[in-house]
Structure 1
Amino acid sequence: MQYNESIDELAALLQQPADFEFELPDPEDEEIPEPEFQTQLDVAWQVCDRFDLQTDIWRGRILRAVRDREKIGGEGRGAGFLKWLKEREIGKSQAYALIQLANSADTLLEEGRLEPSAINNFSKRAFIETAKAAPEVQQMVGEAAQKGDRITRREVRQINDEWTAMSSELLPEPVKIKAAENSLPPRYIAPLVKEMEKLPESHQNAIQKEISQNPDIDTIKQVTTDARNLAKYLKAAAQVQALNAQEVDIETALIEAQRVGCLSIAADLVNQASQLEQMIAKLYMSWKKIGNLSDRLYVDTGASTPRLRELLECLEPLGGEVMELQLSGGTEHTIRLQIQETS
């Protein structure tokens, strides 16, 4: 039977040790020039990388088969799959990462963006980076790999940056022209596009106008920082309850802060306000818990536990209406906080 023959072939392969040995250069051999020493190690590392990638892709396919079999005939909401992982000491998150890697590999192969033989030209991290990239980037990376180019994560990111610089609708034409001429390196443009995608259209338009007038590296770097601050400002502002009380026009305030050159300060202020409100909420919950625990401990203790009562007496004020804390530094300060609850 073909089934039994395939099982026998697999079993025979497992009995054979893998031909996987290197003659690494002797680190103490000073006659080996440094460039040659590094080259020999790099070649060995690349082989390990390819071996690791191919192994993980097949592990992902095996895990996917186990999971899918469980979906068809398993019981107990995937208990069989989890048991299989436990027996092989594989974490659930690791298993699904391997399955995702296998899915990515199969998708790239099925859609013709990659030939099976080209997988050997990838490092493991480069392959994962390619799997997460846009289809157009996958196509370009696949073509480079099929030509025999060695693909590392750096190459994938470079191709992705180049594609972003030439294809993003958020970039004005002067910037795209400069990118095509390579007078504006894509590595500066890609982060800007990433930050602009987080912003409302009105702020995108303002940035587009500025980089159209000055399509140079310094301007790109500055507006990238501004865009990052804008995104932080907007995200933090949406979480600050104090701003909702008076329905502050966040957009206009943002434009004003940018116009007078105080954007980073305004962004930091709103971010700190957001953090303070979160800390107040946590303080309140801890304060309530201390009060409840103190009450329970008072009921459960008595004259037979004098030291425990002393501990309770020292900590109990922290659950009272007024809390007091000594801050020591250059000079000592006493901080008093009063919490009042209202329905």
Structure 2
Amino acid sequence: MAPTTKTAKSLTLADLDQDLDLGFQLPDPNDEEISEIDFRQQIERAWQVCDRFDLQTDIWRGQILRAVRDWHCQTPKDREKQRGDGRGAGFLNWLQDREISKTSAYSLIELANSADTLLETGYLDAQDVNRFSKRAFVETAQSAPEVQQMVGDAAKRGDRITRREVRQLSDDWSAMSSDLLPEELRAKVTDQTIPTRYVAPLVRHLEKLPEAHQASIREAMADHPDLDTLKQATGEARSLCRYLESAAHVQALDDLDMEQALEEALRLGCLNTTAEIVNQAAQLEGAIAKLYTTWKRLNSLSERLYVDTGASTPNLRTLLKSLERLSGEEIEFFFGDPRGDKFSRTIRLKLEADLALDTGTWEAS
């Protein structure tokens, strides 16, 4: 397969050279004649230049990384065999030689892909990229096509695009176009009775909910399309999302009818508390799983170190002895005020290995 690196639409030095200006000067903070307004304006201009170069540099780095990745991952088989590397191993070695993490590399590649996408769709011209801060550019690339179009139009007009402008346009679009909102509420948004910044969070939460729950919230908003009801509906939608997302990951709730429990919580007006309980239960089960795997890893490393050391390493043996209260079957941990004057607690966990399954009991004192 041929490399997928895009050159025709990618940002190049030739595209942007005409607007680059490294000759900015910072105001002298000790100049008594400069006013605070002038000082702030000069600092803002210098900061925008840094933002611009930060964005352009990262896009170019992403293009470089993408080319290197494609070279190593998509070269002909005979070249791969000649190198002797596994598929993609050469790219990881290249990153390691330059002390670049895999996460950072793919983040930059994603930024380069976003730049190509925005340029290919025609929403942006190459010179328009200079109008963006880095975070605003990433935010635009992740937005809906309609929002990208509006942001692109603003950039072509010469407007400076920050993350705040992108989010405002995104909120406006969500509030005006979402089918999840009742007409009564959209009318309030249209006449600017209700700001879009209050409506956008509700839309984001509604998108994650089943139709039945969407309908009940829409009905409430249709009956009372005011700001107080909107805030209450947003809070309810947020709690519903937390409840549904967390409940799917709690093993202790496998035998429970979650919808029935949810209806009771809604009827009693305690949805937020119920959602928090389920969320905490999911976190606790995750913590237990992490505790078990970490405990097993600590045991394995302790055994290995014990075998590799002897009487000639008394300090290492003391280290292993001290860690027995964490690596043994009985784990003991103290937290809180070391002097015991304020809140303090000793947690004791007993992990009992079974042939079929490791089980654990705990007590706190």
TM-score, length-normalised on structure 1? 0.77
Instruction: Determine the C-alpha separation between the residues in 2 that align with 1:92 and 1:242.
Output: 36
2: CA distance between counterparts of 1:276 and 1:125? 34
**CA–CA distance in 2 between the matches of 1:97 and 1:317?**
38
Q: Distance in 2 between matches of 1:152 and 1:42?
A: 13
CA contact (8 A) 1:113 1:143 kept: yes
- Between structure 1 and structure 2, the one with the greater Rg is 1
- State whether residues 290 and 318 of structure 1, in contact with CA within 8 Å, keep that contact through their aligned partners in structure 2: no
| Partner in structure 2 of residue 228 of structure 1 | 238
2:244 alignment partner AA: L
Partner of 1:4: none
Aligned to 1:267: 275
Q: Which of these residues, 173, 179, 185, is aligned with residue 163 of structure 1?
A: 173
Whether contact under 8 Å (2:175, 2:196) holds in the other structure is: yes
Task: Give the equivalent residue in structure 1 for 2:41.
Answer: 39
In the alignment, the residues of structure 2 paired with residue 229 and residue 238 of structure 1 have an alpha-carbon distance, to the nearest angstrom, of 14
Partner residue, 1:60: 62
- Which amino acid in 2 is paired with 1:52? D
1:108 matched to 2:118? The reply is yes
8 Å CA contact 1:121, 1:149 repeated in 2:
yes
Q: Deviations over 1:229-283 (max 9, x none)?
A: 1122222222333322xx3221122122122211112122223333444455566
Counterpart residue identity of residue 193, structure 1? V
* Distance (Å, rounded) in 2 between the aligned partners of 1:319 and 1:132: 49
Aligned pair in 2 of structure 1 residues 84, 269: CA closer, same or farther (>3 Å)? Answer: closer
Q: How many residues align?
A: 318
Given that residues 333 and 348 in structure 2 are in contact (C-alpha distance below 8 angstroms), is that contact kept between their aligned partners in structure 1?
Answer: yes
Query: For residues 277-296 of structure 1, what are the structure 2 equivalents within 5 Å?
Result: 277-281=285-289
Partner of 2:139: 129
Alignment check: 8 A CA contact 1:290 1:319 kept: no
Matching of residue 22 in structure 1 with residue 24 in structure 2: yes
Which residue number corresponds to residue 258 of structure 1?
266
Are 1:97 and 2:99 matched, yes or no? Answer: no
Q: 1:181 aligns with which of 174, 183, 191?
A: 191
Counterpart of 2:36, as a letter, is E
Take 2:349 and 2:69, find their aligned partners in 1: how far apart are those partners? 55
Distance 1:51 1:294 in 2: 49
Offset at 1:333?
8.5
Partner of 2:163: 153
Question: Match for residue 238 of structure 1?
Answer: 248
Name the residue aligned to 1:3: none
Report which stretch shifted further, 220-229 or 141-150: 220-229
Q: Which moved more, 1:136-145 or 1:179-188?
A: 179-188
What residue ranges of structure 1 are gaps of 5+ in the alignment? 1-9, 11-17
The 10-residue stretch of structure 1 (176-185 or 150-159) with the greater mean CA deviation from structure 2: 176-185
Q: Is the 8 A contact 1:113 1:142 kept in 2?
A: yes
Structure 2-normalised TM-score? 0.73
Whether contact under 8 Å (2:325, 2:332) holds in the other structure is no
3-state SS of the aligned residue for 2:75?
Answer: helix
State the 1:81 CA deviation. 3.0
Kept after mapping to 2: 8 A contact 1:166/1:180? yes
C-alpha contact 1:174 1:215 (8 A) present in aligned 2: yes
Contact 1:294 1:316 in 2 (8 A): no
SS at match of 1:174: helix
Identical pairs, percent: 56
Q: Tell me what 1:195 maps to.
A: 205
* Counterpart-to-counterpart distance in 2, 1:43 and 1:286: 50
Q: Would the alpha carbon gap of residues 275 and 59 (structure 1) be closer, same or farther in structure 2, given more than 3 Å must change?
A: closer
- Whichever structure has more helix as a proportion of its residues is 1
> CA separation in 1, counterparts of 2:343 and 2:75?
70
Unaligned runs of 5+ in 2: 1-11, 13-19, 357-365
**Code of the aligned partner of 2:272:** S
Please tell me whether residue 206 in structure 1 is matched to residue 216 in structure 2.
yes
Q: Which moved more, 1:211-220 or 1:158-167?
A: 211-220
**Relative to 1, partners in 2 of residues 1:317 and 1:157: Cα closer, same or farther, differing over 3 Å?**
closer
Whether the 8 Å contact between 1:287 and 1:319 is mirrored in structure 2 is no
> Whole-Å Cα distance in 1 between the matches of residues 345 and 162 of structure 2?
56
C-alpha separation between the residues in 2 aligned to 1:224 and 1:214?
A: 14
Equivalent pair of 1:318/1:324 in contact (CA under 8 Å): no
CA 1:52–1:290 in 2, change beyond 3 Å: closer, same or farther? closer
Kindly indicate whether structure 1 or structure 2 has the higher relative contact order, using CA contacts under 8 Å at least 6 residues apart: 2
Report the CA distance between 1:153 and its aligned residue.
0.8
Distance 1:288 1:53, change over 3 A: closer
